[in-house]
Amino acid sequence: MSCHEDELLQIVASETQVDPTLLVRDAKLHDLGIDSLDVVSVIFQIEDKFAIAIESLDFPPDATLGDMLDRVELEIGTAAAGSHR
């Protein structure tokens, strides 16, 4: 589990109204009922919480929650590395 994963999962649960017990890494976004608008809402909240800007995150229909979390973690790490220059 990544260092921000719990926080990210809380944001996902809050923004998508998905039961937190269903938010497991291998769950497909579409099976959870998470659509592109939900992803945008989640991204806005993540940007606010971590004071970062995430350009665009598009996920294929078979993307998993783990795919999304890993990509967001990468964006957070990239933003943090850029702020330390």
In the predicted model, what is the mean pLDDT of residues 40-47?
91
Structural domain boundaries in the chain:
5-83
Question: Using one digit for the tens of pLDDT, what is the confidence trace for 65-85?
Answer: 999 899 888 888 887 777 654
Q: What pLDDT score was predicted for residue 81?
A: 77
Is 38 a residue whose pLDDT tops 70? yes
Cβ-proximal residues to 59 (8 Å cutoff; 6+ apart), any chain = 29, 39, 67, 68, 71
pLDDT cut 70: percent of the chain above it: 94
Predicted TM-score (pTM) of this structure: 0.84
CATH superfamily of 5-83: ACP-like (1.10.1200.10)
In the predicted model, what is the mean pLDDT of residues 10-23?
96
**Contact criterion met (CB below 8 Å) for 50 and 34:** no
Sign of CA dihedral 48, 50, 56, 62: negative
What is the Cα 17 distance to its own chain's centre? 14
